[in-house]
Structure 1
Amino acid sequence: MAVKNVLRKVVGWIAPAPSKSEDGRDQWPSRAAFLLASMGGCAGMGNLLRYPSQVYNNHGLQWYIPYLMCVFLIAIPVLVLEIAIGQAYRGGSVVAFNSMNRRLKGVGLSLLYVGFVVGPYFVVILSWIMNYFRNSFISPLPWTGRGEEFYNQDVVANIEPIPGSLTEDGSRVLSYTKYPGVALVGETVGWTAFTWFLVWLCIFRGVGLTGRVVYFTMGLPIVMTFVLIGRAVSLENAGAGIKLYFAQWNGEKLANGQIWQTACGQVFFSTGVGFGYFTSYASYNTKHSNAVMDSILIVTSNVLFENIAAFAVFGVVGFLRLFPEDGTRLGSFTVGFLTLPLAITEMPGANFWAFALFFTLMVLGYSSAFAMLDAVVTLVMDTGIKWPRAVVVTVLTVISFLLSLPYCTQFGYYLLDGIDRWINDVALVFVVFSECVSSTTVYRWKDVVGQVGRPAFIVYNAGYFGGMVLGVVLAHTVSPLLVLESALDFCRRTRYFHRHRQDPDAETPNLFKRNVYLRRIYYTAFYSPLLRYIAGPILAIVFGFSYPAFYKLRYDPLHILGFAVGHIALIIVAFGFIVPAGTMFLSPSSWRRQDPIRSRSLVRVRGFFQQQRRGWDGKWR
């Protein structure tokens, strides 16, 4: 009995039950725990691998112009939205968006869909890193002098496909790519199972345990990254690589649309918006946490980390004398599994540096992996299910492991490439676009209609959405002049309805008080300008690039599959908007019946907003 009590105390100390907030919801042990968990969701392998490769391929200081614009114009505003709705509505992304408007339930569900699809193949990449980590204890390192062979044959172990082809003019498919290898790769399966077990271990108990785990998953990689930086910048000729990073200017690259698309994609994917876990994490915050300050801290810490960590790669680039002028390009996998490991073999104490590199990548990846699964766990728990959290986590972990198995096959690398590309280029871009436009169009739309009238609201938004759709389509098919003409036509129609709609009677900011026309403009156009007119159109443009790219790869069955998987997110958003009653089991009503304390809290929040919208005379403002 005494031993049992001691074990119970030890488990309680290692994995404590989460504390409760006033409304009965689990709560983070501290604000620092929330920030570290959110930063861990941001900071991952992409910071140490993907970011340096993107900067390298667009080398020069000019990279920071589109990069920083995307940070401040897209990442921070969208993150403020995701954190704020999680805190306000005390639920994950589905509950939060449903509470904003019942037709936005699909938007919240699509965010979780993206994370649930990415998680299984993300863990397989971690299993490849674990393979390297195991081999880092062998001297000499097994990839010495055979880096590409070791990666392709010993780690990934995929059989080369038989490539397909298009006709010379690209109008039709001559033959489809064939993949002769279908067997499972044993070691990859084993490491994948082990990795999912560690993910389960980090989240099965709730935020009480996760709040302690993140101190390790964030603190240790930062220390190890600085150790790697110190070694990299001390290598012979490291200064040449650092000069490539910070001391060159190639202004002509800004005229190329690729650098803008690449910078937007990097910021978008490295910050982690669009995966749903920020809203889930924020729902465990105290009600009055500063969402704006938290968002700024999370994004800026991610920017600082990836820009400082890049010194470790660029020191190695100078050491290996890999320069873009020679036609060399780097990919994320190239940096992590070829460039850095080969450089390590030429360093004194190679085994220690191999251990440090792959241990850092491994721990960085875990925080992102369990963040994506935890968002889905939050959704299931918010439905009011009677199962204990540990059971829910176990079931979802097993399902995720089974979904990982196709990536552990002898065609798994190519499947990963096909799914990853179109989940990022199609699904992820579209769901964040949906966040931006739905939160500024559908949320409290009746207030706007009450001020300007339904016809003006409909036509203005038809012009807003139609302009983006038509502009992107025409940009890919006809001349820019027609795009401009179509945009002007929408503006003329919108202006007509500005003149013929009812006058607002509510207060507006001082800038719009000068006349009735400006007050009309405010309510239909500038209710939330940054998300609506900056982030939304930018994402629409980026989304438009995916279709011409797919047209060139339509001979590959795995890219066709990835393209279809990416479009499921669009179907989820559309279905939730058109048939909001089709997913009633995900509505807040289900957990309001289970938790009356939380229900009363939500009623008070809604009552507060209603009071803000009423004047002292009780009329709507």
Structure 2
Amino acid sequence: MEKQPLPTDDDRPGESELDIYVQDRQQVSSEPASRAGWNSKIEYFLAQVGFSVGLGNVWRFPYLCHQNGGGAFLLLYVLLMLVVGIPLFFLELAAGQAIRQGSIGVWKSISPRLSGIGYSSCVVCFFVALYYNVILAWSLYYFGNSFQSPLPWENCPVQGNTTVTECEKSSPTSYFWYRKALDITDSIDEVGSFNPYVVGCLFAAWTIVCLGMFNGIKSSVKVMYFSSIFPYVVLFCFLVRGFMLDGASEGIAYMFYPKLEIWGDVQVWRQAATQVFFALGLGFGSIIAYSSYNPKNNNCHRDAFTVSFINFLTSVLATLVVFAVLGFRAKEIVMACVLSNVKKLSELSLDPSLMPNFNYSDPKSVSLEVYTEWFQQSGNENPWNLTECDLEKEMQKGVEGTGLAFIAFTEAMTLLPGSPFWSAIFFLMLLNLGLSTMFGTMEGILAPLRDRFKCLAKNKIKLTVVSCVIGFLIGLIFTQRCGNYFVTMFDDYSATLPLIIVVVFETFSVSWLYGADRFLDDIEAMLGWRPYAVYKYLWKYVCLLAMLGLLGATVIRMFIKTPTYRAWNQENQELVNVDYPGWALAVLSLLIIFAMLPVPVGFIYSYVKDRREPRSRDTEAGHYNIVNTDETPMTDMSEQDHRNGFAVSDSLPLDSA
């Protein structure tokens, strides 16, 4: 049903404006709500937490924390989350809950000329869904291979009577990841054939997502009861087991050791802000979509704080687990290095006065502290050509992204008793973390399209199936032997810049075009109490300037630093930084342009349409005066109607006066 303007006295002669207003409210309120809703608050929390808590909490946050000052980075992260992340999260929650539509409908209600913001969110969600599901496919592949003893990545394969050279010079886990799972090429230019195992796993991943989204939130939330809770069970199991391992305390100490000097580094602020931005899922439209299924009086202000801090605590929990296990792995490797070096010393015929005071009859008794102290005193250049065996350097190897999950952490699990069990539950955890995020990402695509186009709303199941089929077919790009490099390209460039621009427009449109005070008025009418006035200044100045600063820093970094990717060099058995070729730079540029294009296109389309078909001031501002850049109040609508009618559609009952 199309929205119809409220009748005036001319339409109903003999009735006062107040009588007409009351009758219309009663009529609209009696209409049944056609939009779905959550069965309980628990379902909503599972969905929002499941979307915001994803793979980045496990393999991105720990890396950033370790590389950027440990405890100092945690404090910086909390500060930015409080002054930027939570206010913007609250803004999206309130807008979605009030207007009860997806991102396209929300920003079109704010102003028809801003509808492109919602379409940009959909495009970015689609890009993210394409490569994110490939990561789920990799997790499925490793999960399926975990039911073996020993694990297939525990030892190097043997050809004839010799160990495979590539594996021997790298590690069994690196060899399995790059050669068996990916069968990767040396560069993005070498396309290679499709990996049949990854293709099969990708098909399975999209099938799971399709079945989970088959009936919208009614079906996906049933999966989330498991996919949102199970990761916490696994993390606590790993935490308890990790604390019992030798080297766990060293790993956690390295992670949390504060380095306050990092606060003076602009890049650290940029990385912290970006992590807050992506951890909460701002700009995707998924927050708006999930919130749109809430009742109007839901306390979205409390939800913003609750979900944000659950997300933060999950990141801290995952970081404790990661560095406890990585500390154990590093300690095992370093102690093996110490043992090897002590044995080398014992086999040399040297002047006893030059020999360190070690117990050569029992090399295992030499502690890391004693060896490190002797090595530092002897100087890095020693006549025995021994290695340093540095614990911190060992912990820094492969602790970011896929390198953490599929190499470093996987290697650590091979050292645990019952390694197949720990491997299986770890990759099942990754699979569930990814699924919850994928459900939210897909909802950020499907909900706005269903709200905007009635034909799609009537064919909800077909829309879901077709979207998943298209996602699988395009996703085959990532299953080539060079597919991992395309995943890196999409992850680094297809979402970051467009999403920041989307959030800048969101913040500007609400706080300046619509008006922060008026937005707070509408929230007050919706919740029954008025949020703190500090949000007005945070939205108008702090958040907007912070996002503009993040946008500027990101753009400058893209132009100053040549885009590169990490490629596996088979000859040297190591990762090397490689510049993107010209065609790849063109592709990533098109990804960014295509994601941002709906914003100017929507504005131009609306402007041209207004020029050809001049609308009344009421219509241009939105049906219920959703946005009115002119501060003059509407004459044909009461102030209370304006405040309570914030984005009310004909399919929803109006809140009682």
Residue identity (%) = 28
Q: Which of residues 338, 343, 346 in structure 1 aligns to 2:407?
A: 338
Amino acid at match of 1:381: R
Aligned partner of 1:46 in structure 2 is: 56
Aligned partner of 1:353 in structure 2 is: 422
Q: Which of residues 541, 546, 554 in structure 1 aligns to 2:554?
A: 546
> 2:106 & 2:138 partners in 1: Cα distance?
36
Aligned partner of 1:265 in structure 2 is: 274
> 1:304 & 1:389 partners in 2: Cα distance?
36
User: Aligned in 2, Cα 1:211/1:385: closer, same or farther, shift over 3 Å?
Assistant: same
Amino acid at match of 1:574: P
Aligned partner of 1:427 in structure 2 is: 498
Aligned partner of 1:111 in structure 2 is: 121
> 2:186 & 2:540 partners in 1: Cα distance?
45
**Number of aligned residue pairs:** 489
* Equivalent residues of 1:75, 1:267 under 8 A apart: yes
The question of 1:238 aligning with 2:248 is answered: yes
Q: Secondary structure at the residue paired with 1:27?
A: coil
Q: State the Cα distance separating 1:80 from its structure 2 match.
A: 1.1
The question of 1:378 aligning with 2:447 is answered: yes
Amino acid at match of 1:240: E
Amino acid at match of 2:437: S
> 1:336 & 1:57 partners in 2: Cα distance?
17
* Equivalent residues of 2:516, 2:540 under 8 A apart: no
Q: State the Cα distance separating 1:580 from its structure 2 match.
A: 2.1
Please identify, of 318-327 and 54-63, the stretch whose mean Cα deviation from structure 2 is larger. 318-327
Q: Deviations over 1:358-393 (max 9, x none)?
A: 011111110111211122211222121164321111
Q: Which of residues 532, 536, 558 in structure 1 aligns to 2:540?
A: 532
Tell me, which stretches of 5 or more residues in structure 1 are unaligned? 1-19, 162-177, 449-508, 512-521, 590-598, 615-621
The question of 1:328 aligning with 2:399 is answered: no
Aligned partner of 1:149 in structure 2 is: 175
* Equivalent residues of 1:415, 1:558 under 8 A apart: no
User: Aligned in 2, Cα 1:202/1:393: closer, same or farther, shift over 3 Å?
Assistant: same
* Equivalent residues of 2:69, 2:260 under 8 A apart: no
The question of 1:558 aligning with 2:584 is answered: yes
Aligned partner of 1:160 in structure 2 is: 186
> 1:289 & 1:21 partners in 2: Cα distance?
21
The question of 1:138 aligning with 2:207 is answered: no
> 1:395 & 1:388 partners in 2: Cα distance?
11
Instruction: Report the TM-score, using the length of structure 2 for normalisation.
Output: 0.70
Q: Any residues of structure 2 matched to 1:465-480 within 5 Å, and which? A: none
Q: Secondary structure at the residue paired with 2:597?
A: helix
> 1:142 & 1:327 partners in 2: Cα distance?
23
User: Aligned in 2, Cα 1:372/1:26: closer, same or farther, shift over 3 Å?
Assistant: same
The question of 1:411 aligning with 2:482 is answered: yes
User: Aligned in 2, Cα 1:609/1:421: closer, same or farther, shift over 3 Å?
Assistant: farther
> 2:553 & 2:252 partners in 1: Cα distance?
32
* Equivalent residues of 2:130, 2:475 under 8 A apart: yes
Q: Which of residues 290, 307, 327 in structure 1 aligns to 2:316?
A: 307
* Equivalent residues of 1:135, 1:141 under 8 A apart: yes
Q: State the Cα distance separating 1:243 from its structure 2 match.
A: 1.4
Aligned partner of 1:474 in structure 2 is: none
User: Aligned in 2, Cα 1:325/1:349: closer, same or farther, shift over 3 Å?
Assistant: closer
Aligned partner of 1:454 in structure 2 is: none
User: Aligned in 2, Cα 1:61/1:583: closer, same or farther, shift over 3 Å?
Assistant: farther
Q: State the Cα distance separating 1:304 from its structure 2 match.
A: 0.9
> 1:347 & 1:62 partners in 2: Cα distance?
32
Q: Which has the higher contact order (CA 8 A, sep 6+)?
A: 2
Amino acid at match of 2:396: T
* Equivalent residues of 1:21, 1:286 under 8 A apart: no
Q: State the Cα distance separating 1:99 from its structure 2 match.
A: 0.6
Q: Secondary structure at the residue paired with 2:229?
A: helix
> 1:284 & 1:582 partners in 2: Cα distance?
33
Aligned partner of 2:76 in structure 1 is: 66
> 1:446 & 1:243 partners in 2: Cα distance?
46
Q: Deviations over 1:488-530 (max 9, x none)?
A: xxxxxxxxxxxxxxxxxxxxx9x9xxxxxxxxxx9xxx99321
Aligned partner of 1:276 in structure 2 is: 285
* Equivalent residues of 2:103, 2:285 under 8 A apart: yes
* Equivalent residues of 1:421, 1:562 under 8 A apart: no
* Aligned CA-pair RMSD: 3.0
User: Aligned in 2, Cα 1:340/1:85: closer, same or farther, shift over 3 Å?
Assistant: same
Aligned partner of 1:35 in structure 2 is: 45
> 1:28 & 1:21 partners in 2: Cα distance?
19
> 2:625 & 2:272 partners in 1: Cα distance?
41
Q: Secondary structure at the residue paired with 1:567?
A: helix
Aligned partner of 1:368 in structure 2 is: 437
Amino acid at match of 1:260: W
Tell me, which stretches of 5 or more residues in structure 2 are unaligned? 1-29, 156-171, 332-390, 520-529, 564-578, 616-622, 628-636, 646-657
Q: Which of residues 191, 194, 201 in structure 2 aligns to 1:184?
A: 194
Amino acid at match of 1:426: L
Q: Which of residues 598, 622, 629 in structure 2 aligns to 1:572?
A: 598
Please identify, of 540-549 and 420-429, the stretch whose mean Cα deviation from structure 2 is larger. 540-549
User: Aligned in 2, Cα 1:335/1:21: closer, same or farther, shift over 3 Å?
Assistant: farther
* Equivalent residues of 1:414, 1:558 under 8 A apart: no
* Equivalent residues of 2:121, 2:502 under 8 A apart: yes
User: Aligned in 2, Cα 1:32/1:601: closer, same or farther, shift over 3 Å?
Assistant: farther
Q: Deviations over 1:136-160 (max 9, x none)?
A: 1111111114111111111122211
The question of 1:85 aligning with 2:77 is answered: no
User: Aligned in 2, Cα 1:254/1:361: closer, same or farther, shift over 3 Å?
Assistant: same
* Equivalent residues of 2:133, 2:206 under 8 A apart: yes
Q: State the Cα distance separating 1:423 from its structure 2 match.
A: 2.2
Q: Any residues of structure 2 matched to 1:461-610 within 5 Å, and which? A: 528-551=536-559, 552-553=562-563, 555-556=580-581, 557-580=583-606
> 1:447 & 1:262 partners in 2: Cα distance?
33
Q: State the Cα distance separating 1:326 from its structure 2 match.
A: 6.7
> 1:412 & 1:348 partners in 2: Cα distance?
34
User: Aligned in 2, Cα 1:308/1:22: closer, same or farther, shift over 3 Å?
Assistant: farther
User: Aligned in 2, Cα 1:351/1:446: closer, same or farther, shift over 3 Å?
Assistant: closer
